[in-house]
C-alpha cells in the first residue's frame, strides 16, 4: 500500500515544487494564474511533506533507501568526511528559476537520506541569487530557491524541524565577477551543517 502511493506522491510534489517556485517569464495573465496556484499548492505541499516526513522512520527510510543513489547508508560522521559524497553541498539554478534541475537530485537525495537517518542533525539551506536586478527582490528569489530544496528534502523524509532556511539574495556571491560564468556559480542553494562547522 505505502509503496504504491509513495512514488506517485513524490512525483506530484516535485511537479508542484517546480510550479510553485518558477515564475513564468512572459504573459501576465497566465503568470497570474500560475503564481496563485503556486501559492495555494505551496500550503498543501508543505502539509503533505510534513505528513510524509513524520510518517515514522519506517516509511521514510524505505523510500529513501529506494530512491537514494548507491552507498547512502551513511555513518554519522560522514558529514565531516571531505571524501564522502555528502561533501557535494551546492545546488545550482538557472536564471530567474527556483526549480531544482534533475542533475542535482542525487545531491538532495543523499543529504535527505543522511538527515532522515540522523533526525537530531540540523541543516541550514542558504539561498543565493546572481547580482542582477533589485537586491530586495533577490532576497525573495533566494528564499524561494531555499524553499524548493527544503520541500524536496521533506519529500524524501527529512523533518521540517531539522531544516532552517535563509536567503542572502545577491549579497554573498560564491564567485566575484560580473559575467555569465560567475552568475551561474552564484545562483545556488548551499546546504550547511552548523553543528559540524561546515
Partner 1 sequence: MHPTRWLHALIGVALLAVSGQASAVLKIEITEGVSGARPIAVVPFGWTGSGERPEDIAGIISNDLARSGQFAPMERRDMVSRPTAGDQISFGSWRTLDVDHVVVGRISPRSAGGYAVRFQLFDVNRQRQVAGYSFEARKGALRGLAHEISDVVYKQITGERGAFNTRIAFVSAEGSGDAKHYQLQVSDYDGYNARPILKSRQPIMSPAWSPDGERIAYVSFERGSPAVYVQQVRSGERRQISRRTGINGAPAWSPDGSKLAMALSYEGNLELYIMDLGRDKLRRLTRSGGIDTSPAWTPDGERIVFTSDRSGGPQLYTVPVDGSSAPRRLTFEGNYNAGPDVSPDGERIAFVHRNENNQYRIAVVDLESDLMRIVTDGRLDESPTFAPNGRMILYATEHNGRGVLGAVSADGRARVRLSQAQGDIREPAWGPFRD
Q: For residues 2 and 195, which CB has a smaller minimum distance to partner 1 in the complex?
A: 195
Nearest-approach distance from CB 90 to partner 1, in angstroms: 15
- Rounded distance, CA 189 to CA 144, Å? 10
Nearest-approach distance from CB 181 to partner 1, in angstroms: 13
Q: For residues 37 and 71, which CB has a smaller minimum distance to partner 1 in the complex?
A: 37
Cell numbers for 133, please give them: 536586478
Q: For residues 46 and 61, which CB has a smaller minimum distance to partner 1 in the complex?
A: 46
Nearest-approach distance from CB 163 to partner 1, in angstroms: 8
**Residues in contact with partner 1 by the rule CB under 8 A:** 20, 23-32, 34-40, 42-43, 96, 122, 124, 131-137, 139-141, 143-144, 161, 164-169, 171-172, 176-178, 194-195
95-119 burial: b if 16+ Cβ within 10 Å, else e: eebbbbeeebbebbbbbbbbbbbee
- Rounded distance, CA 112 to CA 169, Å? 24
CA distances from 42 to 36, 38, 135 (A): 10, 6, 24
Nearest-approach distance from CB 159 to partner 1, in angstroms: 12
Q: For residues 43 and 57, which CB has a smaller minimum distance to partner 1 in the complex?
A: 43
- What order of strands is seen across the sheet that includes strand 123-128? 90-92, 188-192, 123-128, 163-169
Amino acid at each position: 500500500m505505502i509503496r504504491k502511493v509513495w512514488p506517485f506522491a513524490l512525483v506530484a510534489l516535485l511537479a508542484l515544487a517546480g510550479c510553485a517556485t518558477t515564475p513564468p517569464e512572459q504573459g501576465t495573465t497566465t503568470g497570474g494564474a500560475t503564481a496563485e496556484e503556486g501559492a495555494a499548492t505551496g500550503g498543501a505541499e508543505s502539509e503533505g511533506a510534513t505528513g510524509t516526513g513524520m510518517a515514522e522512520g519506517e516509511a521514510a527510510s524505505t523510500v529513501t533507501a529506494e530512491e537514494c543513489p548507491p552507498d547512502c547508508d551513511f555513518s554519522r560522521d560522514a558529514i565531516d568526511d571531505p571524501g564522502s559524497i555528502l561533501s557535494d553541498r551546492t545546488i545550482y539554478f538557472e536564471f530567474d528559476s527556483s526549480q531544482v534541475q534533475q542533475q542535482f537530485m542525487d545531491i538532495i537525495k543523499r543529504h535527505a537520506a543522511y538527515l532522515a537517518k540522523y533526525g537530531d542533525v540540523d541543516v541550514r539551506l542558504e539561498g543565493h541569487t546572481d547580482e542582477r536586478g533589485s537586491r530586495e527582490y533577490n532576497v525573495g528569489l533566494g528564499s524561494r530557491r531555499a524553499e524548493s530544496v527544503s520541500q524536496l528534502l521533506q519529500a524524501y523524509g527529512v523533518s521540517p524541524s531539522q531544516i532552517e532556511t535563509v536567503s542572502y539574495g545577491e549579497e554573498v556571491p560564491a564567485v566575484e565577477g560580473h559575467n555569465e560564468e560567475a552568475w551561474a556559480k552564484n545562483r545556488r542553494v548551499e546546504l550547511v551543517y552548523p553543528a559540524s562547522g561546515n
